[in-house]
Homo-oligomer: A and B are copies of this chain.
Amino acid sequence: MSKMLSKTDTFMGCECPFDEAEIVMFSAPFDSTTSFRPGARFAGGAIRQNSFGIESYSPYQKKDLFDLKIMDAGDLELPFGNTQRTLDTIGQQTTEILESGKKPFMIGGEHLVTLGALSPVAKKYPELHILHFDAHADLRDDYLGERLSHATVMRRAWEILGDKRIYQGGIRSGDSREFKFAEEHTIMSKFNLNRMENFIRALEGKPVYFSLDLDILDPSIFAGTGTPEAGGVTFKELHHAVLLMKDLNIVGCDVVELAPHYDQSGISTMVACKIIREILMVMS
């Protein structure tokens, strides 16, 4: 009596069994360090629920999501309000996925969740590079005294990976020290993704972790986020950059900072669904 099995509410019906999956998605409902407008904790549920509003077929890539081997494992249960244990739980989930030879794909939550997933990926791939799209540099050493913050996550990543391993695109906000730090320690395409083709050439052949803070998008198309910053890239520019990544070896990915309540038109959530579909196809 199969109809009486509880139906699973997954991203676009991605219900490939774990053993057969190539990519394993999960979401991390955490936003405790958000400094302006909290609410990214609700992103995973909103994305799953609205994902059936778009097609599984991409006319851009001429692929169908239903032909790919993707499992959506749902929301992690996180130890609420405890930042370090949250990162540990994300790390365990990521480790399990990596040890089974699969690729992790995390939906945030705020940007700090990246740190939890990055650690095991970096351990597995010593040559790991990060491709980081964002409005904000996220390179502070601390934020109001806290070292674990959405505003420090790429500084922490740099401590793991070292110099010139982080490629940053779209950055248009930060303090002066962050931009100075970037000049010396990361590779940054300020304000836009114009240097993306150079990035692709530099990263080809290397293991790459792709961290997409959706606030790289202009708030006209992505209002539903904690720290919206005018002057961002269009959806087409972001999408074009994603399509270019088909030549990269992306070994892990996250898509963060959708805070769905702030965009009651639902557009931000639909945008997240579409770019996730396209990234999944690029990674497969």
Contacts and interface: CB of A to CB of B under 8 A. Distances in A.
Interface in A42-59: 45-46, 48-49, 52-57, 59
A interface, how many residues as a size bin? Answer: 35 or more
Interface string A1-22: 1011111111000010010000
Contacts of A266: 37, 223, 228, 262
Contacts of A32: 32, 81
Contact of A74 (B6, B24, B33, B235): B6
B274 A7 contact: no
Contact of A7 (B34, B74, B190): B74
Contacts of A56: 175
Contacts of A39: 37-39
Nearest to A136: B55
17 contacts: A1-B18, A4-B97, A7-B75, A37-B53, A38-B38, A53-B227, A53-B228, A59-B171, A59-B173, A64-B176, A79-B146, A81-B149, A230-B270, A231-B274, A261-B261, A262-B265, A262-B266
